[in-house]
Amino acid sequence: MRQDIPFTVRSAPARAGIALGLLLAAGSARGEQPPAADHAVVSTDILHEFNRATVRLAGRVSPAVVQVQASGFHPAAPGGKVDAAFVARQHAVGSGVIVDPDGYILTNNHVVHGAHRVEVLLPATPGGSPQTDDAQRLFEAKVIGVEPDIDLALLKIEARHLTALSLEGAATVSQGELVFAIGSPEGLAQTVTMGIVGSAARQVDLAQSMIFIQTDAPINPGNSGGPLVNVDGALVGINTFIVSESGGSQGLGFAIPAPTVRLIYESLRKSGRVRLVEAGLATQNITPTLAAALGLPRDWGVVVSDVALGSAARAAGVEVGDVIASFDGRPIDSLAAVTAARYQHSPGEPVRLVLIRGTQRLSVNIDAKEKTPHADLAELASPESSLVRRLGILGVDVNERLQGVIPGLREGTGVVVAARTLDATSVDSGLQPGDVIHAVNGTRIESVESLRQVLRGIKAGEPVAIQIERQGRFAYLSFKME
Catalytic positions: 110, 151, 224
Side chain identity, residue 394:
L
Helix, strand, coil percentages for the chain (3-state, nearest 5):
25, 35, 40
Burial call 143-180: b when 16+ CB within 10 Å, e when fewer: bbbbbeebbbbbbbbebeebbbbebeebbbbeeebbbb
Q: Which residues contact 263 (CB under 8 A, 6 or more apart)?
A: 340, 343, 344
Instruction: Give the burial string for 422-456 (b: 16+ CB within 10 Å, else e).
Output: eeeebbebebebbbbbbbbeeeebeebebbbebbe
Choose among 97, 99, 162: nearest CA to 132: 162
Cα separation values, 393 from 70, 75, 202, 338, Å: 21, 13, 41, 42
DSSP helix/strand/coil, 430: coil
DSSP class of residue 297? S
Q: What is the DSSP string of 154-185?
A: EEE-S--S------TT-----TT-EEEEEE-G
Asked whether the beta carbons of 137 and 161 are under 8 A apart, the reply is: no
Strands (E), 60-102: 65-75, 86-100
DSSP class of residue 410 equals: S
Q: What is the DSSP letter of 126?
A: T
What residue spans of 272-364 are helical by DSSP H? 288-294, 312-315, 335-344
- DSSP state string for 228-254: EE-TT--EEEEEEEEE-SSSS--S-EE
Any residues with CB less than 8 A from the CB of 285 and at least 6 apart, and which?
A: 203, 301, 302, 303, 334, 335
The amino acid at residue 464 is V
